[in-house]
A and B are shown apart, each in its own frame.
Chain A
Amino acid sequence: MIRQDSKTLLEVRGLRATVNGIEILKGMDLTVKAGEVHAIMGPNGSGKSTFAKVLAGHPAYVVTGGSVLFEGKDLFALAPEERARAGLFLGFQYPIEIPGVANAQFLRLAYNTVQTQRGKDELDPLEFDDFVREKMKLLEMNPDFLDRSVNEGFSGGEKKRNEILQMALLEPRVAILDETDSGLDIDALRIVAGGVNQLANKDNAIVLVTHYQRLLNYIEPDYVHVTEAGRIVKTGPKSLALELESRGYDWVSAAAGAAA
């Protein structure tokens, strides 16, 4: 929800980044305030997933210009784990499988790390078990997933639910969900989107990175941004997503080209 007096959580100015020496982000600008839902859309290779990874601090990407303020502080002064503890969350497009680590163990470790950072008490395994089972109901997840290795052998939908479960546990200020809708059937999409909607509130913000408009039928964005060649070239209301769905991306870049 857009409110004029909301606090700015994320302020991206002229962000440039490279991977393997190739510039992918060529001056991204984005302002995200508390309570808002943003959708970043764009064709493949336009830099939207790179943008998500750069914000989270993926080591393969090198920031070459611009600035990002997270709640007023320089994001790039923080290591990836410090960003997570400060309240930045990245929902992975391809969540990593970690054979040998029980999901419950991983979730509790992550939860307790962030709780400690916030000056709150850690939960022991039993307390955590009750707590996480409650959160799993939100995503209609079978408690069996606690005993299995992290993401190992999970279906695409199960992996994405596990990502949103982590978001529910860590209660981030800004959640960037990278292609959370990819590989989901319609039921899984409804459940995952329902979970995200329940987690959205006036104090946090959600940035959805997506290729298709489909997800936005379930999670209503306040703003839709279109990326093209490493920049946001158009910003509009929710209806822009529908327009992209019917007309494709080409007209946006043509219009942007004409404007430039």
Chain B
Amino acid sequence: MMQVANNSYLAGLLEGRPFADRGDALNRLRAGAVERVGVLSLPSTRDEDWRFTDLAPLTKMCFQPYRGVPAIVESDIARYSIAESAQRLVFVDGVYAPQLSSPLNGGIVVSSLAAALPAHAAAIVADLGRRALFDNNAFTALNTAFLNDGALVLLPRNAALDTPVHLLFVATRKEAAAHPRCLVLAGAGSRATVIEEYVALTEDAYLTNAVGEFVLADDAQLTHVRVQRESRQAFHIGHSAVALAHGSRYHGIHAGFGARLSRFNLDVVQNAEGAECEIGGLAIIDGSQLADTHSSIDHARAHGVSRQQHKCIVGGSARAVFNGRIVVRQGAQLTNSAQSSRNLLLSERARVDTKPQLEIFADDVKCAHGATVGQLDADEVFYLKSRGLSESVARSLLTYAFGAEILHAIPVASLRDRLEKMLLAQTERA
């Protein structure tokens, strides 16, 4: 019975798929995804991976993709502009907004995927849909079924982008369903910083179902800042898939502030020797928000390094979930992996479920992990009070500091300052 309801809900989301058959290079991928959506069902809390995140609130509402042209102007999004960024791509309710974007089409490509498809079909088809797998992920399948446009960053061999690329996804419409897509192809030895940011000009409920693929060739270096600041009524489902080749390095900073219900899947596959990833995650929620992060770091080859720190600050009756899977395969000797999950509960009703999940099949590896859940440290509070700070100022400063440790790693000063101010405002409210 439930199965039927779930399937019909998925089918409903698939309705209004505007680009079923455009005869472009993505046809096969889309068709495969459409078929898969028909087979898969919406996850329920009986699925181990969704045990703590009940999608019932989502299924009580209907969301349809927006088909029109973006109706906002520069001044509407001025507050999100990032001074350091020279290239920006803006998507409004899932639709590319050329008038708000500043693409780049040289050796380095920063462009709408649809616009770049004719010229770069081979490179795009080789990776698109092959990193963010949708066989067992209904939302990723749904996103892929809608795949028509998206953000493309293409870095040729040894290319270096000195200014960050800003991919800005703006929600403006009640009950809209957007399926944003990012594809970042970093050629051998290339370097770039990409900011993927989700913001809202509406306070209503809508659905963002985003998928990003980040493919790093040998020795490439990518810094990926992912900022989720959706409306407090929104549903945000995100999936970032990272593929790391020999000697490449991925630095991810993923911060989630918004959404009524958010789920972020991060899949990192270190498929060659000497790949390295460093990941900082932060979820700061209160009220009745739910933020669920599921990460998987797969060490398939030797000499890999991964560092992951995930933090949750949970107030009100909010609920955070962290599931951190680390796989070290048989051949992945001398892997060095460290994971920490630290969680701050600001109220009696706040809740966090954290689960490290280590699967180690190699025998000569170094893997450390730890999880803590707690309140603010009484000695730290006392230290600040002994300097004259009031209890509330001391608590908000320490809460801020707890989260700021993650945000400090953002290499773009204006964005870092902006997010730190948001964090401070949120901690002062708590």
Contacts and interface: CB of A to CB of B under 8 A. Distances in A.
A57 interface: yes
B391 interface: yes
Interface string A76-116: 00011101110001101001101111000010011001100
B187 to A, nearest CB: 36
A109 B382 contact: no
Contact of A85 (B378, B379, B388): B388
Interface in A215-232: none
A98 B386 contact: no
8 contacts: A56-B382, A57-B382, A84-B385, A84-B386, A96-B383, A100-B402, A149-B401, A170-B388
Nearest to A96: B383
Contacts of B405: 99-100
Nearest to B423: A100
B135 to A, nearest CB: 40
Contacts of B389: 81, 109-110, 113
A92 B383 CA distance: 8
Interface in A50-81: 56-60, 79-81
Given A60-B378, A81-B391, A109-B393, A99 B401 contact: yes
Contact of B388 (A81, A99, A100, A149): A81
A117 interface: yes
B270 to A, nearest CB: 28
A166 interface: yes
Q: Which of B382, B388, B404 has its CB near the most chain A CB atoms (within 10 A)?
A: B388
Contacts of B393: 109, 113
Contacts of B398: 98, 101
Nearest to B390: A81
Contacts of A80: 382, 385-386
Given A98-B384, A99-B405, A100-B402, 9 more contacts: A56-B382, A57-B385, A81-B386, A84-B388, A100-B400, A101-B404, A109-B393, A109-B397, A114-B388
Interface string B369-382: 00000000111101
Nearest to B393: A109
Contact of A166 (B387, B394, B397): B387
A98 B388 contact: no
B400 A59 contact: no
Contacts of A170: 387-388
B387 A98 contact: no
A96 B403 CA distance: 18
Nearest to A80: B385
Interface string A148-189: 010000000000000000100010000000000000000000
Contacts of A92: 383, 386
B interface, size bucket: 20 to 34
The 8 closest A-B pairs by CB, nearest first: A100-B401, A110-B387, A84-B388, A100-B404, A96-B383, A113-B388, A80-B385, A100-B405
A81 B385 contact: yes
Interface in A31-52: none
Contacts of A113: 387-390, 393
Contacts of A110: 384, 387-389
A12 B267 CA distance: 62
Contacts of A58: 382
B385 A101 contact: no
Contacts of A100: 400-405, 408
B149 to A, nearest CB: 39
Q: Which of B387, B390, B391, B405 has its CB near the most chain A CB atoms (within 10 A)?
A: B387
Nearest to B401: A100
B39 to A, nearest CB: 46
B344 to A, nearest CB: 12
Q: Which of A81, A83, A89, A90 has its CB near the most chain B CB atoms (within 10 A)?
A: A81
A67 to B, nearest CB: 21
Contacts of B386: 56-57, 80-81, 83-84, 89-90, 92
Nearest to A113: B388
Q: Which of A83, A84, A95, A100 has its CB near the most chain B CB atoms (within 10 A)?
A: A100
A95 B386 CA distance: 11
A101 B401 contact: yes
A170 B402 CA distance: 26
Nearest to B420: A100
B379 A96 contact: yes
B387 A84 contact: yes
A60 B394 CA distance: 17
Interface in B220-245: none
Nearest to B378: A59
Nearest to A107: B387
A56 B385 CA distance: 9
A60 to B, nearest CB: 7
Contacts of A106: 384, 387, 397
Interface in A179-214: none
B60 to A, nearest CB: 39
Contacts of B408: 100
